[in-house]
Amino acid sequence: MIESESTVPRIGQIVQTLKGRETGSYSVVIQQLDERFVLIADGDRRKFDRAKRKNIAHLHLCDYVSPEVQNSIIESGRVTNGKLRYAVSKFVNEVLNDEKKGDMFDG
């Protein structure tokens, strides 16, 4: 089975949880375990050292990859919880708010 690019999570990509206790929350992909599972963390409730193993089918892959997180993991294999918090808050504040502002002007 050939997967399209949008269904393959990338390191540093922002995801929204669709199933489970943390439904609706945003996290960052920090490791790809196999074709079905990734490790996610947000730096706040879910720290880098205690990342959550999550089925890709239970995640919405947002079209945003944090370059800070991606570069840090590629260079050192780790990322600080502060960078994870920054990446999630930057996405929520900039990308989501921009989408909502665009929706207001459509009507």
Residue 95: per-residue pLDDT: 75
Residue 97: per-residue pLDDT: 75
Residue 6: per-residue pLDDT: 59
Residue 47: per-residue pLDDT: 96
pTM (predicted TM-score): 0.85
Residue 7: per-residue pLDDT: 77
Contact between 13 and 59 under an 8 Å Cβ cutoff? The reply is: no
Contact between 73 and 87 under an 8 Å Cβ cutoff? The reply is: no
Over the chain (107 residues), what is each successive 10-residue block's mean pLDDT?
61 95 95 96 96 96 95 95 96 79 59
- The domains found in the chain, sorted by start residue, are 5-106 (2.30.30.30)
Residue 64: per-residue pLDDT: 93
What DSSP string describes 18-81?
Answer: -SSTTTT-EEEEEEE-SSSEEEEE-SSSS-GGGPEEEEGGGEEEEEEE-HHHHHHHHHHS---H
